[in-house]
Structure 1
Amino acid sequence: MNKRGMVCLTASLVLSAIILSSCRNNRSDKQSEGLSGNLTIFHAGSLAIPFKALADSFSKIHPEVRVLSESAGSLASIRKITDLNKPCDILASADYTLIDKLLIPEYTGWNLLFAGNEMSIVYHSGSRLSDSISATNWYQLLMNPEVRFGRSDPDSDPCGYRAILTMKLTEKIVKKPGLTEDFLRKDKKYIRPKEVDLLALLESGSIDYIFLYKSVAMQHKLKYLDLSDSINLAAPGLQKFYQTVSVEIAGNKPGDKITQHGEAMVYGLTILNNSKNKEIAEAFVSFILKDGLQIIENLGQTRVIPSLSEKSENPGFLKNHLLH
């Protein structure tokens, strides 16, 4: 080969190397810029609308990620993991203590506290006696034989056992022994697996009132009665009083019971140890802490300072997001 041919060949090889390198770099940049794959989330029924909004916002940043959400009562969601071995990346519970008690340490090592809520009595314009309901007479009104109310199953859903805790606190305050037992005996046929399952019964007029989280009432633009802080389980300053009442609910195994004491409402979430999409899951949780808390607050939930539960180990990727 002559000198001119050698120069042309060298130039061609250099150009090919540059093009190949450029293609590799472009592929690498594209991989580092975005995530792709499925993200499976089991969450409380009361988080259905907030997590749909979070997923929509997250998908705008990561369009190649498909968020697959399953809504159920928090206890039912946890049992999908512990009893049914269903694959899941993120679990979000309406009661953070359930993650501590039922998932740590076997299924996860940490539990992030991220939002709050409060109990309320929800109704509609056609609800019986709704023109006279108040913060002082609501419990008497609900016990009226003409009135029908709904609540969720305490063995499936925190809203269900929180309704009982609210009644027990009310019984203490108004000094009416037996009030909670009367409440538990009434309208049993209107108990449903999770609180949002009751909305159709309310809208159809089958029931008049629901024990429901205030955020869900706001999201669905329903009428609701604000309850006093002494019974709505929303005030951290009343924690000692809340803890004077408790309720037993079903545990992970048949026949097992766990005791839930009254406590100011705090939601918790975690990534499961066996998550198949941990990178995406960590990105989603980081997104919640960076931008998502405002979305949640805009949808009626109380903002809390994000922190890890006492049983948690710091998973590392949260270190830059938490105060401690």
Structure 2
Amino acid sequence: MAQVLTILHAGALRMPIAQCTKLIKKLYGDLDVKLESYGSRACARQVREGKSVDILALADPVLFDKLLVPEYVANYYIFGNDQIVLAYDEFSRGSEEITAGNWFDILQREDVKFGRSDENLDPCGYRTLMVWQLAEKYYGRPDLFARLNDRCTGDKIYAKSSDLGSGILEGKLDYAFSYLCVTKQFGLKYVTLPERINLSNPAHAAYYQQASVALKGKTAQENTIQTGAPIEFAIALSKNAENPVMAKAFLDLVLSKQGQQVLENCGLIPY
């Protein structure tokens, strides 16, 4: 009977996790790998509510610290980083003129629709809100955060970052704030934002800390403050793993040179 390996991961990691799954199945032919993806905060919440998984891969190591260690995960491993970009395609309104110096003006046009992910479900969501806060300071545009926030509501807020690419391709959105790796996976065009606001460079960590977002805590009655920091991705073995041997084999693969090459091919910067 085939062994089963259950992996719960951030939607942004869909492609690299799928590629690593193909590699481990070549090594262990009788292995049945089950993949599920959600926003990283939603993933963490499911584990806290009793979901049984072998591997957990999230888009922010802080979630392990705040929600999962030590009850559900003993430790975790940071394996790569990324940046927030503004994704679009050739049909997006204003796409022929948008740049890193005017994107905030394009997005405020009446006919332009842009989206982000939900900050309480997905780290890309709260990171997007941080980017807007930092952009207000960086470009010297008072009320920029409030203006962008007021225009991005309702059905323009998606459950996870990987849904945003589909929103653009389906014509529901002109633009979306997403990870570079996800944007590349969808083959979309993008505006690269300045390093001081795109959360990519550890050298600007102190600057990023000027941004913060209030989020739901461990329970519905609690709130927690998330402070700006460089984007990082992390992976861990679950304490309730039903197949700890194969889980460790998968973890080792992701952290190996072969796994790091997969991450790089998918648009991440491996550590």
Which residue of 282, 293, 297 corresponds with 2:264?
Answer: 297
Contact 2:41 2:120 in 1 (8 A): yes
| Counterpart in the other structure of 2:182 | 216
Which residue of 50, 60, 63 corresponds with 2:29?
Answer: 63
TM-fit CA distance, 1:229: 0.5
What is the SS of the residue equivalent to 1:136?
coil
Contact 2:165 2:183 in 1 (8 A): no
| Counterpart in the other structure of 1:49 | 15
Aligned-partner Cα distance in 2 for 1:120–1:155:
20
Contact 1:166 1:231 in 2 (8 A): yes
| Counterpart in the other structure of 2:150 | 185
Aligned-partner Cα distance in 1 for 2:270–2:73:
24
Aligned-partner Cα distance in 2 for 1:98–1:187:
25
User: Does residue 1:87 correspond to 2:15, yes or no?
Assistant: no
Which protein has the bigger helix share?
A: 1
User: Does residue 1:38 correspond to 2:4, yes or no?
Assistant: yes
Moved over 4 A (4+): none
Unmatched 5+ stretches in structure 2: none
1:255 maps to amino acid: Q
| Residue identity (%) | 35
| Greater shift in the superposed pair: 40-49 or 176-185 | 176-185
| Counterpart in the other structure of 1:151 | 116
Contact 1:118 1:232 in 2 (8 A): yes
TM-fit CA distance, 1:188: 0.7
Contact 1:201 1:207 in 2 (8 A): yes
| Greater shift in the superposed pair: 254-263 or 53-62 | 254-263
Unmatched 5+ stretches in structure 1: 1-34, 305-324
Contact 1:121 1:211 in 2 (8 A): yes
Larger radius of gyration: 1
Aligned-partner Cα distance in 2 for 1:125–1:211:
16
Contact 1:149 1:210 in 2 (8 A): yes
TM value normalised by structure 2: 0.96
Higher relative contact order (CA 8 A, sep 6+): 2
1:89 maps to amino acid: D
2:165 maps to amino acid: L
TM-fit CA distance, 1:274: 1.4
Aligned-partner Cα distance in 2 for 1:36–1:231:
47
Equivalent residues, number: 269
What is the SS of the residue equivalent to 1:231?
coil
Contact 2:165 2:182 in 1 (8 A): no
Which residue of 269, 284, 303 corresponds with 2:250?
Answer: 284
Aligned-partner Cα distance in 1 for 2:225–2:188:
32
Contact 2:164 2:178 in 1 (8 A): no
TM value normalised by structure 1: 0.81
| Greater shift in the superposed pair: 69-78 or 242-251 | 242-251
1:196 maps to amino acid: S
Which residue of 65, 70, 74 corresponds with 2:40?
Answer: 74
Contact 1:100 1:111 in 2 (8 A): no
TM-fit CA distance, 1:245: 1.1
Matches within 5 A, 1:10-25: none
TM-fit CA distance, 1:106: 1.0
